[in-house]
Structure 1
Amino acid sequence: MVGGSRIRQIGWALVLGICFALLLALTFKVNAVKSDVRLAERQIVAAQRAKLLLETEFETRASQQQLSDWNAVEFGYAAPRADQYLESERQLAALGTPRGIDAPKPVRVALNRPAPEEENLFAEWLAETGEVPERPERRDLVAATGLAERLASPTVKMTAVAEVSQ
């Protein structure tokens, strides 16, 4: 019986080995099927997104035709023609309409000028006491003849002035 039990032990070991090998093969097969299922699900999601994109595109193009019809019938809009383009600013100015009766006067010139010394808060008081200081930066500004020289001169208090046509 000792020999039979040894053969039985080897038989059980073989059966367990075969079962383990079948379990391992089955696990690999299940994982392969799961991978295929995930891939199919991803393809389904991609197809659904593409379908949604195409449906949106189709609805957009359909609504463009509807918008085109509305523009033509309701609003009178149309694409610009070649004769509607202007070649210069003068042609654009010629299209302008005269000002209305209640329209405000247009601003013709806007510029900065040096503030006169009389506008200084202490100018009167300094004039009375005779202590009016000499301002060399003001002298430089007056002596400057070109724009570049005036811009390069030290900063002087400037006031904004807008001249309105009468």
Structure 2
Amino acid sequence: MKRLKGLGWIALGFLAAIACYLISLQVSIERNRLADVNSAILDAKRDIRQLETEFTTRASLRQLERWNGEVLALSAPASVQFISDERQLASMDFDLRPDMAGPSPTMLALVSAATIQPAVELAAAETPAQAETPIVTAIARAVVPTAEAATRDPKPVAAPRPKAETRVAAVKPAARPAKPAAKPAKPDPVMQRMAELDTRRAQRVAMLEDRLLGEDTLGDIARTARAEARRR
């Protein structure tokens, strides 16, 4: 009995130690949770303070202008802040957004301007026969005075003149043989490359403008302007 009683006391002390350990462990867990809650509260207060400061600042455009003139000295963004030259802009590559189904108006204007030169070359290649019309006109002008002289001169010597006119008329079809249709001139690869670079440059500039001037920023500016107008 004494041995069993000693074992019982040992077991009881062991159970008490385990219970105390569990209680201390639970207390430490709760303390950690409380510390996390306190840090979250501090972060929330800091965010609230920043938001309140931002709201009060945006509510007054005059304050913003004064701070910008005295401290911030901000200005409109320029291309030099993002890239050094046009070559770096051409080397950049942006993925098109899914909502950009068709080309922008600027891109259309650039493409149409780039296709003017091939169109002019094609028109010049399609009308080579028209360059021969001055020759025919010169022949006709040479024939007309001879016919007028034949009508004015009553002598029979001018009778053979119409033969020369007929001869010229007979030679005229032989002087202009039928030519096959001119092949359209191939577009210059350099012009095509320049058109592609202009198109990509326009798309990249448009995307940079969309990133810099978002709808949220424009909406905030409009709301602030309306609030200032109401106060005045």
Shorter-chain TM band: 0.3 to 0.5
More strand per residue: 1 or 2?
1
Taking structure 2 as the reference length, what is the TM-score of the superposition? 0.28
